[in-house]
């Protein structure tokens, strides 16, 4: 199966994992709404929504670049309306946009706390809510959210409580939607086994070393494998490696930034 003639709305698609998922879908001939806040080039962040849209078109897909902040309900609904007007509907929503700050309680300003919660679980909720009326009209509607398997293990909450609350919020939204719309919309989560080289991680104090990371393409290929399954199921929380192996893809070495590097397991696993 492929994503040819499918319409995807992807949040946080100007760079990193969101961009990689868009480009993988583009190679199938999909139509993609590139949603993000970066309209102009930034000194520390490479890529804009317009750059990503141009790349999607060059890769064989159709694209529309939509500037939108998923913290703003009106902007979300405008983005969805523009996507439907341009492409006639929405078949797949990829909730990729996320904010991160790996800080302890005493070092987390409330402004940062609010940002993570507004982008992560609230943004996932409102974007899903706005897309669902259109997804329900699709022949094979899917929501895929970049979130970890739900966990109440205290070891994830102690070191960075605010971020864990916000990220697990995305997981619980995914779990709830899967149950509420079971049999009508396939709703699943996807999370990387190892650290992924993205702009978000480079902004974290201390950064990450390349030998510890894989490229965003492994998550993109895993997302493609899930979204093109004959029966993707619902309520599953896939790990990228597992999704690829279930699809018969076992050579994962090509995703490492440094050959034979010491890959580091991602958070929440």
C-alpha 47/C-alpha 15 separation (Å) is 6
- Please report where in the chains the tokens 């997804």 appear, as a residue: 135
255 carries an active-site annotation: no
Of 163, 237, 238, 255, which is the active-site residue?
163
State the SS3 of the chain: CCCCCCEEEEECCCCHHHHHHHHHHHCCCCEEEEEECCCCCCCCCCCCHHHHHHHHHHCCCEEEEEECCCCCHHHHHHHHHHHHHHHCCCCEEEECCCCCCCCCHHHCCHHHHHHHHHHHHHHHHHHHHHHHHHHCCCCCCEEEEECCCCCCCHHHHCCCHHHHHHHHHHHHHHHHHHHHCCCCCEEEEEECCEEECCHHHHCCCCCCCHHHEECCHHHHHHHHHHHCCCCCCCCCEEEHHHHHHHCCCCCCHHHECCCCCCCCECCCC
C-alpha 64/C-alpha 49 separation (Å) is 9
User: Catalytic site residues?
Assistant: 163
């Amino acid at each position: 199966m492929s994503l040819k003639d499918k319409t995807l709305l992807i949040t946080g698609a100007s760079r990193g994992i969101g961009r990689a998922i868009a480009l993988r879908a583009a190679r199938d001939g999909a139509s993609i709404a590139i949603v993000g806040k970066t309209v102009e080039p930034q000194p520390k962040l490479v890529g804009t929504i317009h750059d990503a849209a141009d790349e999607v078109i060059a890769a064989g897909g159709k694209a529309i670049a939509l500037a939108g902040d998923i913290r703003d309900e009106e902007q979300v609904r405008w983005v969805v309306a523009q996507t439907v007007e341009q492409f006639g509907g929405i078949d797949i929503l990829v909730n990729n946009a996320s904010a991160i700050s790996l800080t302890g309680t005493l070092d987390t300003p409330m402004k940062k706390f609010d940002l993570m919660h507004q982008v992560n679980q609230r943004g996932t909720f409102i974007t899903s809510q706005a897309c669902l009326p259109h997804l329900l009209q699709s022949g094979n509607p899917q929501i895929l959210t970049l979130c970890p398997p739900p966990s109440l293990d205290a070891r994830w909450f102690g070191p960075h409580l605010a971020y864990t609350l916000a990220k697990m919020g995305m997981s619980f939204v995914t779990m709830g939607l899967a149950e509420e719309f079971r049999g009508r919309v396939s709703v699943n989560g996807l999370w990387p086994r190892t650290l992924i080289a993205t702009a978000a991680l480079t902004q974290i104090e201390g950064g990450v070393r390349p030998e510890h990371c894989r490229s965003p393409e492994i998550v993109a290929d895993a997302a493609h494998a899930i979204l093109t399954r004959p029966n993707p199921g619902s309520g599953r929380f896939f790990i990228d490696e597992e999704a690829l192996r279930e699809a018969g893809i076992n050579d994962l070495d090509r995703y490492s930034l440094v050959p034979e590097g010491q890959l580091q397991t991602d958070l929440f696993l």
